[in-house]
Amino acid sequence: MNVEMLPIEIIGLKRDLQNILHALRKLGCVHIEELVETQEISARPLTLDREMLQEQEELGFLAARLQGLLDNLGGASHRLDITLEQDYRLQARQGVETLLPKVQTLINRSEKLKSELASLPRYEASLRALLPIIPQSARLPGNRSIGVLVSREHVGVLEAVAKHILDLTAGRAELVARDVDKSTRAMLIVFPVEFTQEIESLLGREDVSRLRLPTELEDGPPDVILASLHRRMAAIPDELEIVEAMQAELAAEWCQKLAAWRDALQDELEASSVLSCLGETDLTFVLVGWIPAKEFSQVQQSLQEQVGETILVRQIPLTSTLRKRVPIILRNPQPAKPFESLVNLLALPRYGHLDPTRLMALFLPIFFGMILGDVGYGLLLLLISLGLTRKLNSGVARDVLIILAIGAGWSILFGFLYGEAFGTLGEQLGMHALWFERASAEHLAGLLVMTLAVGAIHLTLGLILGVWEAYKEKNRTHLLDRGGMLVGLMGLFLIVAVLTDFLPSSLMTPAIALLILGIVLMGASLGWLGILMGPIEFIGLIGNILSYLRIAAIGLASVYLAKVANDIAGMAGNLIVGIIIALLIHALNLVLGAFSPTIHSLRLHYVEFFRKFYESGGRPYQPFKSRIPLDQGL
């Protein structure tokens, strides 16, 4: 059922706006409406002043910096338990200024080490190519070595460079060259250190690609540098571990506070987002919203205690225009609560109209049980559903699992009535039907009649509810249409009862009269078009009843698939192979037994049942509240 809602108006001084919003967030029961969509209130949209806009920008920037720090420290994505102080904004700013340089230093250090670790193996390959051509002079004190790499196509450049260097050093330099691979030639230049600047300039003018090593590896001949490189590559992982350990220490110290500050700031920013929904006069602000009727006195009293007599909280008359915008809260007993998720998948009911949750909670599990109707499958599905439910605290998935568990309970009950446990296996173990064997050919007609009777009862109930809804709304079109269906259906039932000798033949004429009256009433709801559409609509109603035959058809398909599995187990030449194949087929049948009954039971409700009475179009109730628990609030 729908919870009674009241439209309210809150008027206060602009100076009290933030305090009032803070109080409303703590109360967490007022659904704030956009003022422009409430024609009953005359006020202009609220204009945010420069100071308020600047404050929101600062809060957004601070929240982004906190999130950045959390991302870099690998902090939790949700707020942990921690109490915030009143001056948490100042603490957050100071914390960011203190922590940011430390984190940035560690990040830069980590990135540098990772980059170095990735690049050093490339130098190793080049240095190894130079090892065979290292001259003895490269190890003499006072000499320096430079490696040069040139494409084979430009070998002439090396010869020119070698000549210039020998001339420049008066023959004191030594040059050796070797092919590194098919496309590259390497040359090692050994020269006295006093010629470093001139040779560097020469190589730069000739645009020669020299082997540039990290600064900490540049001194000495290639073999010495290679040994240093190996030591460096071995040391980097240890340095990375130290950096990561320092990051972990900072995370342990700061992440809880950072996450709490971030969530509090985001909560404030979300609270500020409702400002665009408010209105104003020169001195006051105007807030319009919805509240559960039972909460009105508490909200009125709390705001007056918070602000004083300068605030007005009053109820607005519920006009027909406002009635179309009432947010919906569904209230049902605990056993029916999970079925609210299935109703929400379709659409919320309109305010003041029938909530079908309890009806779905009654009929859907029964339909599920009638379709599956097997003790073995029902027991397995019950255990699986209950086991998975324990791992989920809330949400649609948990609700669906609970519904499956309830349906599995009904499946066990119908399994005893049908005498089925893993199909025909129950019969082989001495199990007998308490009602009838639906897989038996002699009971097939009875099974089909039963499902048609269930469909007739279900749709008749829907039409009765639909007539009542139309009467409450004073909707002539719906009253004629649904009333005509109900009268015509009663006439059809009487005709069938007379034809099956359940009622005397003298009732045939009144039955036909009822049928014709119902079709006429249905056609009257459509005007002149109803002359053609009335009979067609009634044929569609009969099709709705026949649609319930799927209860029997899908159930029989499951029975025969289980029978095939059991027969294969006995017919296979190898017992183990037969058992494995049978288990696989039973597993497939169990999966189908979970999905098919659910889908088709939902279809019978959404398509056949709900269309007879359900008035959808409700808006969800979204109260303005803080995400921070009250005992940890600001």
Domains of the chain with bracketed CATH:
1-46+278-329 (3.30.70.240), 47-117+225-271 (no CATH), 135-220 (3.30.70.2750), 334-614 (no CATH)
**pLDDT value of residue 538:** 92
397 closest CA partner among 349, 343, 342: 342
CA distance 39 to 279: 12
What's at 102, amino acid-wise? K
Q: What is the pTM of this model?
A: 0.73
CB–CB of 593/369 below 8 Å?
no
Dihedral sign from CA coordinates of 196, 197, 203, 206: negative
CB–CB of 126/212 below 8 Å?
no
Angle subtended at Cα 616 by Cα 359 and Cα 361, rounded to the nearest 5 degrees: 15
CB–CB of 450/488 below 8 Å?
no
**pLDDT value of residue 125:** 65
Question: What are the residues whose beta carbons fall under 8 Å from the beta carbon of 77, sequence distance 6 or more?
Answer: 70
Q: Which residues pair with 145 in a beta bridge?
A: 190
504 three-state secondary structure: coil
Dihedral, CA of residue 440, residue 442, residue 444 and residue 446, to nearest 10? -120
**pLDDT value of residue 630:** 41
Low-confidence ranges of the chain (pLDDT < 50): 78, 630-634
Q: Which residues pair with 7 in a beta bridge?
A: 290
**pLDDT value of residue 253:** 85
CA distance 191 to 317: 98
**pLDDT value of residue 631:** 43
CB–CB of 95/257 below 8 Å?
yes
CA distance 307 to 287: 15
For helices 575-603 and 396-418, give the axis angle rounded to 10 degrees. Answer: 110
CA distance 634 to 24: 13
